[in-house]
Amino acid sequence: MLSEYQLADATATLRGPVFGRRRGLAALNTGTAFGVGLATLWLSLLVFIPLGAVVWQGQKDGLGSFWDAATAPEAAAAIRLTVGSALLVALANAAFGTLIAWVLVRDDFRGKRVVDALIDLPFALPTIVAGLVLLTLYGVNSPVGLELAFTRAGVVVALLFVTLPFVVRTVQPVLLELDVEMEQAAASLGAGKFTTFRRIVLPNLLPAISAGTALAFARAISEFGSTVLISGNLPFKTQVASVYIFAQVETDNTGGAAAVATVLLVIALVVLLGLDLLQRWAARHA
């Protein structure tokens, strides 16, 4: 199947220079510029300018103080814990999220719709409630006998809870739109279920899985409300980056807070870019 870009390019060569007048997509060219401009303006007002102000705040007292703040031992420990947990959680979500989406779309059983509705619950609950209930479940008088509170494992569980809907909900719509004929064709040609999944379905799902995983990772590194309750916030041991940043703001060390926030932003950008590249590579080698 030709991608729309190959199609556009083909059309262009037939009809004129790339940014010249093209029929079909020509009407969209000015639209593109307008759209990009509008999107950029909106994003600037909402995201870029405020985040830029934070980055600015971080280096206001000079790059030396920025570096000191970003590499302070507690900060480094918090960042390590946060990024490590987030990566773990993102991967877990990629696997389980896809599995759950598959079960919800392709399988059928009594109560499936109830289960489907439950997926968004962790998202709609105020994070403080999520944190509190997880603390009750895995805290000192744990009814399930698992005392995970105030440990790093507790942090991971809290993050898994709040990032659950991401991969599930990005993969579900794609699975719904997926053309089953290709799978049926593969089956009729003798491909096993797993091969069919790997060769036919997965490549089509990869953009969605990647999108959901990126979101899960991003949410995991910024989560505060639930982790602050269950982690115990011991510096160097169970203090996540967002709690550390909070502590810096509380001690009027806004520059230090901004510096660590900037580091996290950069790490997030790198991981998001990485996921994007991975997705492109996978699409080419499908």
CA distance 249 to 164: 29
Hey, which residues between 59 and 88 contact other proteins (CB under 8 A)? 68, 72-74, 77
Q: Give, in order, the Cα–Cα distances in Å from 270 to each of 174, 263, 275, 277.
A: 26, 11, 9, 10
Give me 2's structure tokens: 């030709």
259, 69 Cβ separation under 8 angstroms? yes
Give me 233's structure tokens: 């916030």
233, 81 Cβ separation under 8 angstroms? no
Q: Decide if residue 193 touches other proteins (CB under 8 A).
A: yes
Q: Is 14 left (phi over 0), alpha (psi -120 to 50) or beta?
A: alpha
Q: How many CA atoms lie within 13 A of 109 on its CB side?
A: 6
Distance in Å, CB of 239 to other proteins, minimum? 8
Distance in Å, CB of 250 to other proteins, minimum? 4
The residue within the footprint of other proteins, chosen from 173, 184, 185, 278 (CB under 8 A), is: 173
Distance in Å, CB of 49 to other proteins, minimum? 5
Q: Decide if residue 259 touches other proteins (CB under 8 A).
A: no
Hey, which residues between 82 and 141 contact other proteins (CB under 8 A)? 96, 99-100, 102-105, 107, 109, 113, 115-130, 132-137, 139-141
φ, ψ for residue 127 (rounded to 5)?
-60, -30
Distance in Å, CB of 27 to other proteins, minimum? 6
Query: What character string, x for contact with other proteins (CB under 8 A) and - otherwise, covers 138-157?
Result: -xxx-xx----xx------x
Number of residues that bind other proteins (CB under 8 A): 135
Cβ distance to other proteins smaller for residue 59 or 253: 253
The residue within the footprint of other proteins, chosen from 20, 50, 62, 84 (CB under 8 A), is: 50
The angle subtended at Cα 173 by Cα 95 and Cα 171, nearest 5°, is 10
Residue 242's contacts (CB-CB under 8 Å, 6 or more residues apart) are 82, 221, 222, 223, 224, 227, 228
Q: Decide if residue 181 touches other proteins (CB under 8 A).
A: no
CA 100 to chain centre: 17
Hey, which residues between 19 and 48 contact other proteins (CB under 8 A)? 24, 27-28, 31-33, 35-36, 38-40, 42-43, 46-48
Distance in Å, CB of 21 to other proteins, minimum? 15
Distance in Å, CB of 256 to other proteins, minimum? 7
Distance in Å, CB of 136 to other proteins, minimum? 6
Query: What character string, x for contact with other proteins (CB under 8 A) and - otherwise, covers 205-244?
Result: --xx--xx-xx-xxx-xxxxx--xx--xxxxxx---xxx-
